[in-house]
Chain A
Amino acid sequence: MIQTNPPGRIEYLKSKKEEGKKICLIFPIHFHKEIIESFDIVPVEIWGPPGKPYNLSSRHLQSYICPIVKNFLEFYLEGGLKLIDYAVFPHTCDSVQGIVTVLVDMLKWGVPTTTLLHSRSSFEDLNREFAKMEILKVIDFFKKNGEKFDEEKLRASLKKYCENNSMKLKLYELKRRKGVEGVDFWRIFRAGEYMRSEDYNVILRNLIEELEGMEENYKPGLIISGIVPEPMEIFSLIKDEGFVVVDDDYASCGRRILENWMVNEDDPVDEIVRKTELWNPCSTLTRDVRKRVDYLKNKVLKTGARGLIIHTVKFCEPELFDVPFIEKEMKNSGIPVLHIETNLEKEIPSQTKTRIQAFLEAIR
């Protein structure tokens, strides 16, 4: 049983609001939260939330739109985003691109909003230049809204995020060695989605200390790839079956942890641009699916995992195009693979549970 206990999302955000801090909503997937923090604002990611009935959002979005976008809209229309002062939407996919204009142009939601477009061209030098222009655009957006930009603060913020990245790497290593699994762990890990880095780093430090004090307990390992680990119940199921997720490629978790990132540019904006070039292969950005396949194979080899679960969210086109290749290549390499799909529900459907259990039994 893990003792480290981060504050809940609402509780934390309310406390920050009471301190006089503003809150900026960040939509999935890839964004530089360092920028937001350098303006002394709290960046809050939103991945859903799960388990929403589509009462109000179905008046605006068709049933086949990504559930992350639909659940978010439902949450907003229910009055769930009252604490938000700003919003940033990275250009992740067609659904995210579309929801921005629905909110801003159709629903006139009134929250100062900007976008961060990702460069996807075949030309690395142009991608770099464009990435820099987009980062400067975001900085400019906050400046125009009266926030004060300080290069030193951005530099400090980058360092905190770099430390945060290193601690996450350490945490995964400990998780493997100590056989830690379950919803408790992931709840702490995902607290970084709503906490400022200085607060979150304290939580991570505590967790690392706690895990270091545990005895080694190697368990059969598993790797999961997907967008977001919802329903989180999946980790209870894996734990009950005696397995450990030894590494993950969830876009909201492991995919955003960088293997070799050290801050080394003088100009913090250049450093952020450099960081984008270190991003792990992601279906929403990568031009070559082979890179992602190699990346996943390496994870399996490095950790000795016994299999891979691909966990897609319904209607997620970027991931769904990659799945057949990943499945085929993994099978060709003798790595057992299971593909499951969920719809951002609160609980895993029973059929899916049975499939996961059967898969884990087979690779035990």
Chain B
Amino acid sequence: MKDLISHGRYLVATKFLWPLFVRKQILGKDERREGRKPFGPPLKTLRRLRELMGYHYFEGRYAENVKRVAWVTSGAPVEILRAFDFLTIYPENHAALCGARKMIPQLSAHAEERGFSMDLCSYARCDLGCFFSGKTPVGKLPRPSLLLACTNICQTVLFWFRSLSKELNVPLIIIDTPFRYGEGEKHNIAYVKRQLEKLIDICEEVTGEELNREKFERVLELSLDATLLWGEALKSSTNKPAPWNAFDQFIHMAPIVTLRGTYECYSYYMELVDELRDRVYYGIPAIENERFRLLWDNLPVWFNLRGIAEILARRGFNLVISTYTNAWYQSSIYLDVRGDYLESMAKVYTYILLNSDLNFKLQTFENLIREYSCDGVILHADRSCKPYSMGQLDLMNKLVQKGIRSFILDGDHGDQRFYAEEQINNRLNAFLEMFY
């Protein structure tokens, strides 16, 4: 009976409420066509993005007892779950959303009063706070039947998901991707591949269904195609002036993180790439008067994207690319949907930027600086993301030794209590003055 009611609610919500009311509310009035100075016209696909992500969270609100729901980390091999029709929810993406709405201090307070330290990642505190308080800007997150964490982005997710598993009383699957020093050990990939095989076994056991190979290959193809389109979209910024910038990329990366392996994700990036091609063709810039081009390292400062973007754009600085947005494309070279795809998945998910040593990171900086013709680098030392931030001071020194102007911006990706805005702006302005 409970299932029947849930199914009914789900159908009414997704087939009736969404198309007739909610979609319109989310989209609001038509986007303005002109950009607000000093920015160029906004991307038209932003409307499509809001619709796509809006539906993702809207569907989630009614998915409990209707769909198989898994909460996953951003670096999890989600293609396997997709092949078993799991609806995947990304606590990190949800926390980023809360961050952009400046809600993290208020939400994480619920976790802090239960003993979670302010020194922990603000994403984790935010999501635990949402769980404890039941508050979320997306209405409701569906209760998962499975948690899937992959250690390729940090060890924090292991501890964070372990806490969720305890609180939700839901099984946690950990895919352990050994950190890559140098070329990495051969046995690392074999170890990850075997875990992926086991994950398939678990999904078969939980769902009572056998893996449909054809469907899985289709998901992998969609994942690869969307990733390649994302790469193409990023590369449009190699043009001068760049048709969009890293601030846009931070927003438009949501589907490649949360909907990887779906047709909706693929078709969205087709649309985005088309628009970016047009913008390049017609010379429509991300900012007016692009004079200098910069590279960003680490996660964005979600609650102050606009503030930083304005400071840069007013002085003619365009943040054309970031190591973070590039990371979602960088390891796609390993994905082989025709050959041993589990081994290729093991490589894709193990050989990512955050799971690699500083030599690899420095090499990535140099490649991006060259490819995107960057004049300088901003390294966001992110209090909430220690593994990404560790080594940045040495990386900056190496870049400066190579004649690349670089700047450390001390911030936090989600919690504005750790962000001294005036001080940061002063330092940022002083850095920008060096270019004139």
List chain A positions with a Cβ less than 8 A from chain B.
Answer: 59-62, 64-65, 91, 93-95, 97-102, 104-107, 115, 117, 119-123, 126, 129-130, 133, 137, 283-284, 286-290, 314-315, 317-318, 320-325, 327-328, 339
Contacts and interface: CB of A to CB of B under 8 A. Distances in A.
A135 to B, nearest CB: 11
Contacts of B188: 117
B195 to A, nearest CB: 5
B357 interface: yes
A290 B393 CA distance: 38
B117 interface: yes
Given A130-B191, A324-B114, A98 B391 contact: yes
Contacts of B240: none
Interface stretch (B31-39, B75-83, B100-108, B153-161): B153-161
B191 to A, nearest CB: 5
Given A60-B394, A61-B390, A122-B175, 19 more contacts: A62-B381, A62-B410, A64-B386, A98-B386, A101-B359, A105-B359, A106-B398, A117-B178, A119-B191, A123-B194, A126-B191, A130-B187, A133-B191, A137-B185, A288-B172, A317-B155, A320-B120, A321-B120, A325-B166
A105 B390 contact: no
Nearest to A91: B179
Contacts of A137: 185, 187
A106 B358 contact: yes
Nearest to A339: B115
Contacts of B124: 321
Contacts of A61: 390, 393
Given A94-B154, A95-B390, A106-B398, A123 B198 contact: yes
B13 to A, nearest CB: 34
Nearest to B161: A287
B45 interface: no
B373 to A, nearest CB: 26
18 contacts: A61-B390, A62-B386, A64-B386, A97-B387, A105-B362, A106-B394, A115-B181, A117-B178, A122-B174, A126-B191, A130-B176, A130-B178, A287-B174, A314-B119, A317-B121, A320-B120, A321-B116, A325-B166
Nearest to A66: B386
B358 A323 contact: no
Given A62-B389, A97-B387, A106-B398, A117 B179 contact: yes
Interface of B: 114-117, 119-121, 124, 151, 154-156, 158-160, 162-163, 165-166, 172-176, 178-179, 181, 185, 187-188, 191, 194-195, 198, 357-359, 362, 381, 383, 386-387, 389-395, 398, 410
Nearest to A286: B162
A30 to B, nearest CB: 14
Given A105-B359, A106-B391, A107-B394, A120 B176 contact: yes
B154 A121 contact: no
B389 A287 contact: no
Q: Which 7 A-B pairs have the closest CB atoms?
A: A324-B115, A98-B390, A106-B394, A321-B159, A94-B387, A121-B176, A101-B357
A225 to B, nearest CB: 14
Contacts of B358: 101-102, 105-106
Contacts of A324: 114-116, 163
Nearest to B195: A121
Contacts of A107: 394
A317 B395 CA distance: 24
A115 B172 CA distance: 27
A65 B391 contact: no
A326 to B, nearest CB: 9
A317 B390 CA distance: 14
Given A101-B358, A121-B174, A283-B159, A320 B119 contact: yes
Contacts of A287: 158, 162, 172, 174
A289 B164 CA distance: 11
Contacts of B116: 320-321, 324
Nearest to A98: B390
A94 B166 contact: no
A107 B160 CA distance: 32
Contacts of B195: 121-123, 126
Nearest to B191: A130
B159 A317 contact: yes
A142 B391 CA distance: 27
A61 B390 CA distance: 6
Nearest to B410: A62
A253 B328 CA distance: 42
Contacts of B175: 121-122
Given A102-B394, A287-B162, A64 B119 contact: yes
B390 A126 contact: no
B386 A317 contact: yes
Contacts of B391: 98, 101-102, 106
B117 A323 contact: yes
A62 B393 contact: yes
A345 B176 CA distance: 34
B155 to A, nearest CB: 5
Residue among B119, B159, B195 with most chain A CB within 10 A: B159
A60 B396 CA distance: 10
B187 A120 contact: no
B90 to A, nearest CB: 19
Contact of A320 (B117, B151, B362, B389): B117
Contact of A318 (B121, B155, B359, B398): B155
A246 B393 CA distance: 44
Contacts of B115: 323-324, 327-328, 339
A121 B176 CA distance: 5
B23 to A, nearest CB: 39
Contact of A325 (B163, B383, B393, B395): B163
Contacts of A317: 119-121, 155-156, 159, 386
Contacts of B362: 105
Nearest to A293: B166
A340 B369 CA distance: 45
Contacts of A120: 151, 158, 174, 176
